[in-house]
């Protein structure tokens, strides 16, 4: 009974730190890949955990950040800019300029390594 409470007290913070580190990594990569026309899209790319939402960057407007997930084991990375999906997927008249999917697809190994490292440290250090 006491071990479960202790494990939750160790694992939950480690998961949060791991999600935050992965969010920062993917946010940075997506921002480097995003089209650079005005800078609004780049500045609006954020990440969110249940506990926090990252800051928007230069060119973003209020409300551009992604919403917080409902559970502690989920990470949102993206933007609420209305035209973001058109950039990512394209339209009949415009070729796609993907930036979010490649940020995850090209970094799956790094994401796993970051997450595993934070969990190992959390279990080893008890924080």
| Strand pairing report for 46-48 and 76-78 | antiparallel
Mean pLDDT over residues 58-65, rounded?
90
Which two structure tokens, joined as six digits, stand for 29?
């990569």
Does residue 7 have a pLDDT over 60? no
Q: Tell me what pLDDT residue 84 has.
A: 95
Beta bridge partners of 46: 78
pLDDT of residue 4: 42
pLDDT band with cut points at 50, 70 and 90 for residue 99: very high
15-56 residue pLDDT tens? 999 999 999 999 999 999 999 888 899 999 999 999 999 999
Q: Quote the longest CA-to-CA distance of the chain.
A: 61
pLDDT over 80 (residue 59):
yes
Residue 11 above 60 pLDDT?
A: yes
pLDDT value at position 53? 92
- Predicted TM-score (pTM) of the model is 0.87
The span from the CA of 50 to the CA of 61, in Å, is 22
CA-closest candidate to residue 123, choices 5, 14, 4? 14
């Amino acid at each position: 009974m006491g071990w479960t409470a202790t494990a939750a007290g160790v694992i939950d913070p480690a998961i949060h730190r791991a999600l935050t580190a992965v969010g920062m990594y993917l946010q940075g990569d997506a921002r480097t890949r995003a089209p650079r026309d005005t800078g609004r899209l780049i500045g609006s790319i954020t990440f969110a955990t249940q506990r926090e939402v990252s800051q928007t960057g230069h060119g973003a407007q209020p409300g551009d950040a992604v919403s917080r997930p409902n559970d502690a084991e989920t990470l949102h990375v993206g933007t609420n800019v209305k035209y973001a999906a058109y950039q990512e997927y394209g339209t009949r008249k415009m070729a796609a300029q993907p930036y979010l999917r490649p940020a995850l697809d090209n970094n799956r190994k790094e994401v796993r390594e970051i997450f595993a490292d934070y969990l190992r440290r959390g279990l080893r250090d008890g924080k």
